[in-house]
Chain A
Amino acid sequence: MEDPEQIAVTTSLPKPAALRESRATASDTPGAPVFDTRNVSCYYGSFRAVTDVSLTIHENDITAFIGPSGCGKTTVLRTLNRMNDLVEGARVEGDVEYRGASLYAPGVSPTAVRRRIGMVFQKPNPFPKSIYDNVAYGPRINGERKKDKLDEIVEHSLRQAALWDEVKNRLNKSGLGLSGGQAQRLCIARTLAVEPDVVLMDEPCSALDPIATGKIEDLMREIKSRYTIVIVTHNMQQATRVSDRTAFYSVLRDEENDTRTGVLVEYGRTQQIFEDPHDPRTQAYVTGRVG
């Protein structure tokens, strides 16, 4: 297990400035850019969680963020819909553009941002309401009051999330009574019900068994023609199974000051990242020698 070569790889990381040069750009004709981040650094208080991330996420792609724990992939994901605003002391430097508009410009409403850019969390978090009310929650806060319209949205969203057949006879039962996989699909249905442009997923399958995971992966492939999806995952097989592009993040340790920060090491088509990684750290990680 303790391969000396691997240790050498982790400890001799180049500085972030050099990293940006090594960033691979995807070769095939990509969709329109949805997110464009330029030199984004995120701080929690004085701790710099992630440094100088620059990448472009394309329309109708499934983009996977992979990397070891603490590398900042979830932090980057949460800056994409301003969820980190809710964390006290969180701060973003650099520019995050969403379809040409800066997400962190003054006057931008996080609420308006999140209506377009939805999020599915690591642990299924259905509200303590009925299944129906869980899905209708988003449309209702957006002002939809008509019963027949809501019925239609609820059915459509649950069908998209491949949950309709399992719950159609108990729509007014509690959302908390569902199994883990069902609850996660309910959360996906809830997110789709507001018709977002982008769906961010933060390790959506880490609490689920392989069968439930398979269902969610099928569902992602099913809906990718209508949404842009960004998924954080610890499961490299999952990244290869579902994603079009993969971003590999790593931890950069500064031995002098005893600090660490997350960096984007390599970004490109999933196949290239896994089969022909340009960076030795990516190679060490995807072949399972590190992390």
Chain B
Amino acid sequence: MSALDAEPQQIDLREPAGWRRTKSRIMTSLMVLSFVVVIIPLGFVLYTVIAKGASVVGWSFWTSGTIPPNTSPLGLGGIGPAIIGTIEIVALASAMAVPLGVLGAIYINEYGGRGVLARIVRFMADVMTGVPSIVMGLFIFSIWVLHFGTNGFSGLAGAFALGCLMLPIVIRSSEEMLKLVPNALREGSYALGATKARVTVTVVLPAALGGIVSGALLAIARAAGETAPLLFTILGVQSLNWNVFHGATTALPLLIFSNASSPYVGAEGRGWGAALTLIAIAFILMITARLVTARFARYAR
């Protein structure tokens, strides 16, 4: 009642003055700052790699055979075997880890529910995420490579190691995406007389596809850049090896590692060139997968 008698006054709809308004300003600036802090290293890495690698890369660089790091000058030799090796190994690792990981996520989220097995799988995936990559390499080295003696080193062994690394990432990211699919869609499908398998394949998976592909891509990009798991599994050689299932081979991260750790100018340049190539491959992969998912997700909005 007393409000009616009071003098009409200017209504202030702004954030209340004082500490609350200051707090809002501080938090906003902090967020802008953290964005900038995140962007700086990314920009710097890209700038450095492009500046140092751009002059090296070219068709002959990508296709020529590898030469020992100490051979100078720059302009001779290339990274052909390593590109082939990387593409083959990562493709094989993805072929193993992505389907298995997505199926695992489907089990956890759609079928396992709160059951014991689902909880075990989820927990193990979490544990596996925390295993250092070099341990994965050693694991495959001891159970696979050693088993076959000197013939044990192969692209396949490398793919096993990378696959183990990718699997938990794929499982957890796919699971998160499946969780986001609204239950109303599942019920809509069930109400038409669909079986559980049908609901999963025709409604849940398509709705989550974009996110699943993004998660798989992150895993692939992560695996493509791994050096440690490959050290013990593919050995790293100079020569080209087309056969991913047999014999030691090489890959871009290994080549970058060996070239960057040698003191010769030519080797250093080839290292930068290989680094730029690796980034470019990851980038092309991302773009391609985005285009593919955009085609599938046509009806998402």
Chain A residues at the B interface, C-beta cutoff of 8 Å: 81, 83, 86, 88, 110-112, 114-116, 118-119, 121, 123, 125-130, 133, 137-138, 141-142, 174-177, 187, 190-191, 194
Contacts and interface: CB of A to CB of B under 8 A. Distances in A.
A141 B198 contact: yes
B185 A127 contact: yes
Contact of B194 (A141, A177, A191): A141
Contact of A141 (B113, B182, B186, B192): B192
A114 B193 contact: yes
Given A83-B187, A88-B113, A174 B299 contact: yes
A120 to B, nearest CB: 8
Contact of B188 (A110, A125, A176): A125
Nearest to B113: A88
Contacts of A111: 193-195
B153 to A, nearest CB: 46
Given A141-B198, A141-B202, A191 B298 contact: no
B117 to A, nearest CB: 16
Contacts of B182: 125
B184 interface: yes
Interface in B146-205: 182, 184-195, 198, 202-203
Contacts of B299: 128-130, 133, 174-176
B57 interface: no
Top 7 nearest A-B pairs (CB, nearest first) are A115-B193, A119-B191, A125-B184, A174-B299, A138-B192, A125-B188, A114-B193
A137 B189 contact: yes
B206 interface: yes
Given A111-B193, A191-B192, 11 more contacts: A83-B190, A110-B190, A114-B190, A115-B193, A118-B191, A126-B188, A128-B207, A133-B299, A141-B192, A141-B198, A176-B300
A123 B186 CA distance: 13
Contact of A118 (B192, B195, B301): B192
A187 B192 contact: no
Contacts of B113: 88
Contacts of B193: 111-112, 114-116, 138, 141-142, 194
Contact of A128 (B187, B190, B194, B300): B300
Contacts of B203: 127
Nearest to A116: B193
A267 B68 CA distance: 90
Choose among B193, B202, B207 the residue with the greatest number of A CB atoms under 10 Å from its CB.
B193
A115 B192 contact: yes
Nearest to A139: B192
Choose among B114, B186, B190, B198 the residue with the greatest number of A CB atoms under 10 Å from its CB.
B190
- Which applies to chain B's interface (DSSP): helix, strand, loop or mixed? helix
Nearest to A131: B299
A86 B187 contact: yes
Contacts of B297: 128
B221 to A, nearest CB: 27
A160 B47 CA distance: 62
A83 B194 CA distance: 12
B108 to A, nearest CB: 15
A280 to B, nearest CB: 37
B239 to A, nearest CB: 50
B16 to A, nearest CB: 35
Interface in B241-282: none
Nearest to A118: B191
Contacts of A129: 206, 299
Contacts of B198: 141
Contacts of B188: 121, 125-127, 187, 190
17 contacts: A83-B190, A110-B190, A111-B194, A115-B192, A119-B187, A119-B191, A121-B191, A125-B185, A125-B187, A127-B185, A127-B203, A128-B206, A137-B202, A138-B192, A141-B192, A174-B299, A176-B299
Given A86-B187, A125-B185, A127-B185, A190 B298 contact: no
Given A83-B187, A125-B185, A129-B206, A174 B298 contact: yes
Nearest to B298: A174
Contacts of B191: 81, 83, 114, 118-119, 121, 191
A176 B301 contact: yes
A13 to B, nearest CB: 32
Nearest to B209: A128
A48 B297 CA distance: 42
A282 B162 CA distance: 68
Contacts of A112: 193
Contacts of B184: 121, 123, 125
Contacts of A138: 192-193
Given A114-B192, A190-B192, A174 B300 contact: yes
Nearest to B203: A127
A175 B301 CA distance: 8
Nearest to B299: A174
A111 B198 CA distance: 11
Interface string B70-113: 00000000000000000000000000000000000000000001
